[in-house]
Structure 1
């Protein structure tokens, strides 16, 4: 998608440089001409001009030239000398577009959107098409960077009539990438215009189950929308799906330990995996056959793959053991595509290796996304002492700071007796002016990121209340919830928000009800592993789809699943809040 955007931006700039002077109308004003002078000559002419409008046009041309020469600081300095409010509308649009492009070069989409919020931009459709394309492009890029995916797609669709050839194709690929990233509920509210057609295509692809179902649905959509740009030229990822559909999956190897420390974890994963398999059979599908292999008796990965190949296996699900996953990740290639049920450390492994697990790092990133969507920018953090806590904090920090968030304090939770003091240290209680003994909390901390056990959380929330900091929101990972059904355990956690698997937040799910009827323990914290096993089964035939459609998702029971560029399955989770000792599901945040 990034390559498409770069190509499209280059094409737009080329079109702009070739454009001549434009005078839309006397009321809109003249646009800057494509300069035939150097930067210094333009500025000299502006300084010598006695006509304020001509001087402004020359400076706009100079700022534009500096931007194209990648001299962004100089472009910003020149643009700051142009009196925006004294310009005519066409010039205001041009200046606002320049300001937005400069803001995007600083990775500041909010400043870009502010620049494009100028009233003059409402008259963009009256201006020459090259400026329309340029403004729509930076507006779309800013909206996308700000997380406003649907609005970015709408902006790109608006310039569709003004594009032809490669520029049109690149824009169409960018529109598809955006709408493919939208959740299903947003796709359902589509209109009958060009963007609505893109959204209905995305809904069609996401609603179909198997690759063959997707192909049939796409063919039907094209027949119903023969003049739509996507019907005339399918997006590249959908063309790749056609290739995948010609390779149906018929046999899977399930490689899990039957003995040792991970045997109970393995059993929950296996039972969930097979529950999904039996559900597919009951639904009248023709699922692949499953062959079991015991990784606890494994002596050689090479020997295992030789045996699996001889058995006709097309996909391996497993292993679970981290040392084995690490070995696979270090290999240059694998003889059979493999979905490991754990994550290795380090760089991306061979092209045939995919990795999936219940990573706490996913939840830390989820907390950062949710807090940002809720409008928060300054965080405190409480994580356990040790390697696990450090990894979780690192994931939270990277996601949080990458989007402009700030961490103003961190405490590493250790012994229970120290918790009260650690909470006090984190919120930095102070005495008020005049020496009053009434403490007050620091005002630069808007919420606390918490990764802790239920027992620790039971102490932390009341301590915040005791320390006059009970108004600080707490956003936690799922580790605060044991799903024990003991309401008393959570009464002291009222108000804590936490992310959790759909499995544990949706007791009415039919498959969950079937599984818990047979294995009651699946209704508790072990349920996360049953959900992961079910999702591993659902991921198995879809790895190629997720790779071909990197912005697409599978709505799983362990979370909303997507594929990272390093072929690791990442989860986004729904949210709940403890209310009267019970987890109450919260509405999803807007995209």
Structure 2
């Protein structure tokens, strides 16, 4: 955190250096002394800001400048924005620099749309190269933070060109630009390989890193050629040293592997399922020695055993509490490791990765499909418990990035509560009340049919297999017969190989995401699946999923570095298509399937990366201009 703060201060001091100030007069010197005396009485950015409210002229401006510096030190972004707004009312202030400060403060608060509006309002006013370089850098940083590297790249290039030409120091520019380029495909890089020498140099070096990923010798030669061609290029500062190239891209040589699994306690059954997957995958790997340790041993025992074994790689632990304790003790800090769960803390080593069967992956995949299909009003049904609420909150948080509409949420407490939850959400209960009122007005029989609300255009079920089989019929009978059928979707929790043996009829038409291993839809899986079913014919669903996860965890090891470095790289496994994000977490894309005629059939559904609202707003502004 300290290093991050220092970097931030360096960056913003650079922004301050590009300001233009009036030469102080004798009177303003007196104000300055007075302001300094007042400033020394204050202890925080807020207190300095309050002092400034009671002053006038240059005295007030100097106090506001001091409050601004203190707000940056404290990372008080709302106050920094407020100070910038106050300074905006003063004619003698460098307004372009000040508006760049405001945009930066808004960016730090994730007010991306507002920041872009300010940055776009400065177009055509950026006569100073310092202003232009920082403007382009901030714009690029906003797009990059929203994971739109292609949109960010041209701004990064222009910032780099201007900084290099005018000897402007922007400390994080080169590293941020490089990180952004590593997220682009080779096709995108080829398209950027034109224009200025600076831009071509960046595009070429990024292409070399992709093309020669698996060959350290060829990469070394290509970079040497690049250095001769682009002497003095700013990318030199981010290139690895020559002796680091082989380490960065070469596969990890694993002679001795340690597996940490729960081999005692209440989770021993989960450990057994994982161990089966590990053993099955080891038949396909050239690893000389594999040792299994109980992750529930105390930290000191584990540390001693691991030090004695001196492994090349560690897979595990499974339980979050055990990952936390080993991280806190730095037990694995110098050993590459693939933990079998998510991790909420600070990643202590770039050699540490995290792999979990996270339901959030499926929620995001479904959300991207809904948006690709143009659905505007989803309805979500989930159990009223911690897990159900967590997934609802995750969906809501992601949905708000892309749509101004609010999903309809239904949380049910138990199976008795499901009918009331569904009829209330679909407003069928109100329709029944209207029918009852009309019937009371007439003596003879009145033909009637309940109506459900018509604005819901997709329903997503986040219940388990039993709950989904209860919910689906309720939905079928409560949606108006004369209305279009609402598409129904569910997560892998809705699918159970055990229950499906005897009961598929109630789920007709339902789409769901699932591990390839649980669908057995790939020909290459048939032999392994047959062997598994012979050895463990009655395994519960969670054990089967953990087997697939452990199998993939072993097979992915030789490629784990390349997956984490090269964008767009995927590993096709039993648990889905795997990729690694910038935090070292493995993300999964699952298969889609549908219940149809009492069978499960694989389907290909449209999906694409959605455009966040702030970019939609920016595009609208650009179009109107």
Q: If the length of structure 2 is used for normalisation, what is the TM-score?
A: 0.64
Q: Quick check: 2:317–2:339 contact (8 Å CA) kept in 1?
A: yes
Q: Quick check: 1:383–1:389 contact (8 Å CA) kept in 2?
A: yes
Q: CA deviation at 1:227?
A: 1.1
For residues 5 and 380 of structure 1, what CA distance do their matches in structure 2 show? 44
Matched, 1:178 2:190: no
Q: CA deviation at 1:358?
A: 1.5
Q: 1:490 to 1:145 in 2, by over 3 A?
A: farther
Secondary structure at the aligned position of 1:576 is classed as strand
For residues 551 and 3 of structure 1, what CA distance do their matches in structure 2 show? 28
Secondary structure at the aligned position of 1:159 is classed as helix
Matched, 1:252 2:252: no
Name the residue aligned to 1:535.
552
Secondary structure at the aligned position of 1:382 is classed as strand
Matched, 1:562 2:584: no
Matched, 1:107 2:116: no
For residues 88 and 494 of structure 2, what CA distance do their matches in structure 1 show? 52
Matched, 1:578 2:594: yes
For residues 280 and 431 of structure 2, what CA distance do their matches in structure 1 show? 56
Name the residue aligned to 1:383.
382
Provide structure 1 residue ranges, at least 5 long, that are not aligned to the other structure.
22-35, 46-62, 83-90, 278-286
Name the residue aligned to 2:615.
none
Q: 1:440 to 1:426 in 2, by over 3 A?
A: closer
Q: 1:461 to 1:106 in 2, by over 3 A?
A: same
For residues 221 and 382 of structure 1, what CA distance do their matches in structure 2 show? 54
Matched, 1:468 2:483: no
Q: 1:375 to 1:266 in 2, by over 3 A?
A: same
Q: Quick check: 2:340–2:354 contact (8 Å CA) kept in 1?
A: yes
Q: Quick check: 1:140–1:155 contact (8 Å CA) kept in 2?
A: yes
> Aligned pairs, how many?
534
Alignment of 1:259-408 (within 5 A): 261-262=269-270, 265-274=273-282, 276-277=284-285, 287-293=286-292, 295=294, 302-303=300-301, 306-320=304-318, 325=323, 328-329=326-327, 331-334=329-332, 337=335, 339=337, 341-343=339-341, 347=345, 355-364=354-363, 380-393=379-392, 395-396=394-395
Matched, 1:72 2:70: no
Over residues 99-134 of structure 1, what are the superposed CA-to-partner deviations in whole Å (9 max), with x where a residue is unaligned? 75565355221233355556x83x57x843223223
Q: CA deviation at 1:151?
A: 0.7
Provide structure 2 residue ranges, at least 5 long, that are not aligned to the other structure.
24-30, 36-51, 59-63, 72-78, 436-448, 611-625
For residues 311 and 423 of structure 2, what CA distance do their matches in structure 1 show? 57
Q: 1:489 to 1:237 in 2, by over 3 A?
A: farther
Q: Which of 1 and 2 has greater Rg?
A: 2
Q: Quick check: 1:181–1:552 contact (8 Å CA) kept in 2?
A: yes
Secondary structure at the aligned position of 1:358 is classed as coil
Q: Quick check: 1:113–1:143 contact (8 Å CA) kept in 2?
A: no
Matched, 1:589 2:603: no
For residues 502 and 137 of structure 2, what CA distance do their matches in structure 1 show? 52
Q: 1:113 to 1:322 in 2, by over 3 A?
A: closer
Name the residue aligned to 1:30.
none
For residues 487 and 182 of structure 1, what CA distance do their matches in structure 2 show? 47
Q: CA deviation at 1:173?
A: 0.9
Alignment of 1:147-296 (within 5 A): 147-164=147-164, 167=169, 170-182=172-184, 191-193=193-195, 195=199, 198=202, 201-202=205-206, 204-205=208-209, 213-214=215-216, 216-217=218-219, 219-224=221-226, 226-227=229-230, 229=233, 232-235=236-239, 248-256=253-261, 261-262=269-270, 265-274=273-282, 276-277=284-285, 287-293=286-292, 295=294
Over residues 300-340 of structure 1, what are the superposed CA-to-partner deviations in whole Å (9 max), with x where a residue is unaligned? 66556545544452222234466755653553534873636
Alignment of 1:471-550 (within 5 A): 476-482=490-496, 489=504, 492=507, 494=509, 496=511, 498-501=512-515, 507-508=521-522, 512=525, 515-516=528-529, 518-519=531-532, 528-538=545-555, 540=557
For residues 95 and 348 of structure 1, what CA distance do their matches in structure 2 show? 34
Secondary structure at the aligned position of 1:167 is classed as coil
Q: If the length of structure 1 is used for normalisation, what is the TM-score?
A: 0.67
